[in-house]
Amino acid sequence: MKLVGSYTSPYVRKISIVMLEKGITFEFVNDMPYEAQNKVTQYNPLGKVPALVTDDGEVWFDSPIIVQYLELLDIAPALLPREPLASLKIRQIEALADGIMDAGLVSVREQARPPAQQSETELLRQREKITRSLDALEKYVADGTLNANELNIATIAVACAMSYLNFRRVSPGWCVDRPNLVKLVETLFQRESFARTEPPAA
């Protein structure tokens, strides 16, 4: 298989970790979607990463879709419950973590604009999204919905989102008053799959 993406994308990292945990051999094609000469659109008309090219040449894109495809291969460990409603609940937490990544990415792009063109209203909106979502995740860990000892796509996505906030220095005080969330991600960061996919120093 071939995974098309960039080393700094948290969505791509999520898929890399899933494949490493499952022991799936893949070729990583580093392609930055925002560079002029990128070839991402050959795989995804939206020009977004990740994209997964199977051994048969079939292409899957959008990280939740790729996760679903990889789960359908029935390769251990299973990262989604078999029971549909339980699986849906895990997918909703994955969506929440992905939303934190989305808000972080919007913040990074906004802050990359010339200072006079930046919108403080937009930055505040994204910060509020992140804060509310982090508070929700803290509760999920506190009540046992999320557990560092139960690796699944939700815990993987959450750890990737927190790593992205650290990497891009978005919401630098996110760990304050969220001890359960901090403990969760610190435990996950110790896994080999996370160590191998850590983004390069900015």
Domain assignment present for residue 200? The answer is no
- CA-to-CA distance for 49 and 62, rounded, in angstroms? 7
Q: Quick one: 68 and 152 in the same domain?
A: no
Do both 91 and 180 map to the same domain? Answer: yes
Are 29 and 112 within one domain? no
202 in a structural domain:
no
Half-sphere exposure of 139 (CA within 13 A, CB side): 8
Residue 10 lies in a domain: yes
Give the β-pairing of 27-30 and 51-53.
unpaired
115-166 residue pLDDT tens: 999 999 999 999 999 999 999 999 999 999 999 999 999 999 999 999 999 9
The domain spanning residue 45 has which CATH number?
3.40.30.10
User: Would you state the pLDDT for residue 34?
Assistant: 76
Domain count, the chain: 2
The domain of 39 spans: 2-73
Q: What are the pLDDT digits (tens) for 48-98?
A: 999 999 999 999 999 999 999 999 999 999 999 999 999 999 999 999 999
